[in-house]
Amino acid sequence: MNASYSIDYEMIFQHAPVGMCVSVNRVIQTCNGALAAMFGYERGQLDGQSFSVLYPTMDEFLRTGDRIIPIMNAKGRYSDERIMRRGNGELFWCHVTGRALDPAEPLGAGVWTFEDVSEKRPVTAELTPREREIAALLVEGKTSKMIARDTDLSPRTVEMHRASLMRKFAASTSSELVHKLVGVAR
């Protein structure tokens, strides 16, 4: 690379094709236009806002935060697909990936990317917050026992929520449910 060539990292951040933000303790310090537009905000409106404004409920925001810490401690980064909420209240599936700038502070300063995957995976059924959480974990390939351990629920309670999801998505098997959750037609 030519040493006289200067890279404008701020311009790259602002024009990235995916939503990006820098956060400290789950508060957005700055975000790019793609993230603001994805969630239905003007650039700058999310600066200084808690990530909680992007979640369907405060409970989901808190539970996700609890789930992030051990994974960030173990892997140094976190990634999942979850249902998020636009500024107008519309729910959509979003792929979220983040990395802490200091591995010792998993929720301290971090860089996060957000990708709207709603075209591949539309939100088609009215789900409770717990069903959304369990659906996201099923999509990750987790078993009921693993989900129970991750959520501090009993395996029986997880099975009850899985059965409710199967009814809502008209799925006759767990495999069919996961396919419907990820938007793959059978």
Q: Would you list the domain boundaries of the chain?
A: 7-119, 124-186
Confidence tier at 76 by pLDDT (50, 70, 90): confident
Give the helix/strand (H/E) hosting 138: helix 129-139
CATH code for 124-186? 1.10.10.10
Give dist(CA 133, CA 61) in Å, integer: 10
> Residues 114-141: pLDDT tens digits?
999 988 877 766 888 888 889 888 988 8
Task: State which amino acid sits at residue 95.
Answer: H
User: The whole model's pTM is what?
Assistant: 0.71
> Residues 7-62: pLDDT tens digits?
899 999 999 999 999 999 999 999 999 999 999 999 899 999 999 999 999 988 99
Look-up of token digits 């938007």: 183
Local structure of 26: helix, strand or coil: coil
E strand intervals along the chain: 19-24, 27-31, 77-85, 91-100, 110-116
Who wins on pLDDT, 87 or 150?
87
Local structure of 103: helix, strand or coil: coil
Residue 77: both structure tokens together: 């980064």
Are 19 and 114 contacting, i.e. CB atoms less than 8 angstroms apart?
A: yes
Are 106 and 112 contacting, i.e. CB atoms less than 8 angstroms apart?
A: no
**Going by CATH, does the domain composed of 7-119 fall within 3.40.630.30?**
no
Name the least confident of 80-94, 111-125, 130-144, 172-186: 172-186
Q: What percent of the chain has a predicted confidence (pLDDT) above 90?
A: 55
156-159 contact pairs (CB < 8 A, 24+)? 158/134
Residue 151 CA from chain centroid, whole number: 16
